[in-house]
Amino acid sequence: MGLPHPGQHGHEAGARESRTVPWSSAFDGDGGSPHDGARFRDADAPFPGSWKEVPAAWPAPEGEILASEVRTEIAAALAALPARQRTVITLRDIEGCTSEEVCEILEISPANQRVLLHRARSAVRDRLEEYFETARRSA
């Protein structure tokens, strides 16, 4: 899938599509609230207008930063693997292929697939253990 050519879909090269939405579109045609009223208690219920169920907590910024750092460490660990190990772990643990599918795709034996996957997972695990140990010591 490439970029559209000039004139394709009515767009010219270099033309930008508007991404703004009028403020008025945030409300119903009657000017009412944009909120889903079904999520709140009725006027005759105890605590009218309050949440029926408490919304899920938003993720803490610290947790999001840590998750991002861990993803970066995993990506670096995967990049450092030998090509065959990286391919096997990617197919199995990221793409969700079965061991049989990996063997068929790579034309390898089940034993070889298990060895490559074990070595790849061990290398990634070692890198993450080192990262978490370093983070623990510096905290």
- For 54-110, the pLDDT digits (tens) are 888 877 777 788 888 999 999 999 999 999 999 999 999 999 999 999 999 999 999
Q: Are 50 and 40 in contact (CB under 8 A)?
A: yes
The upper half-sphere exposure of residue 88, i.e. CA atoms within 13 Å in the direction of its Cβ, equals: 27
Amino acid letter for position 51: W
Q: What whole-number distance in Å separates Cα of residue 97 and Cα of residue 100?
A: 8
Note the pTM of the prediction, 2 decimals. Answer: 0.56
Give the ranges where the chain is alpha helix by DSSP (H): 61-80, 83-89, 99-106, 110-138
